[in-house]
Copies of this chain bind each other. A is one copy, B any other.
Amino acid sequence: MPPGLSGTAALDLWRRALVASVRRDGPDLSARQLALLLTVYLTPPPHTVRGLAAHLAVSKPAITRALDRLSQEGFLKRKIDPSDRRNVLVQRTVRGSVHLSEFADLVTRSAGEAMGAGGP
C-alpha cells in the first residue's frame, strides 16, 4: 500500500481539483501552459526557452507561444539575459504567484474533500 495516497484517492483528488478548475470562469490554460507555469515557479532558475522545451519535451515554438499567452495573462515575464543577449530568461510575477496560490488552495481543498468523502 502506498503511504499517503492510494490509486483511487489520487484519481478522485485529481478529479475534484480539475472539475473545480474547469468550472471557474478564468483564463483556461492548456496542460502545457500550466505545466510550464508550474515549472517556472517551482524549479530553480534560470529558465530559458531551450531548457524549458527540453524539460517538457516539446518544440521551442510551442514554448514561445505558451510564454506569449502566459505573459499576456500577466503570469510570467521575459527578460533578456544581459550576459548573453540571445537568451531569454523567464521570470515570475506577483500576479502569477497569486494565481498559483489560489490554485494551490483549490487542490488542497479538493484533497480535504476527497479524504472526507472516500475515507474509511
Residues in A lying within 8 Å of B, measured CB to CB: 2-8, 10-15, 17-19, 21-23, 28-32, 34-35, 38-39, 41-43, 55-58, 100-101, 103-105, 107-108, 111-112, 115
Identify 10 residue pairs between A and B in the complex whose beta-carbon atoms are under 8 Å apart, listed by A's number: A5-B111, A7-B105, A11-B38, A14-B38, A14-B103, A18-B34, A23-B56, A23-B57, A29-B31, A30-B31
Main secondary structure of the interface of A (DSSP, over half): helix
For A17, list chain B residues within 8 Å (CB).
14
Question: Shortest Cβ distance from A70 into chain B, in angstroms?
Answer: 14
Which residues of the partner chain B approach A30 to less than 8 Å between Cβ atoms? 30-31
User: Whole-angstrom distance from the CB of A116 to the nearest CB of chain B?
Assistant: 11
B35 touches A112 (CB 8 A): no
Residue in B6, B10, B21 whose CB lies within 8 Å of A31? B21
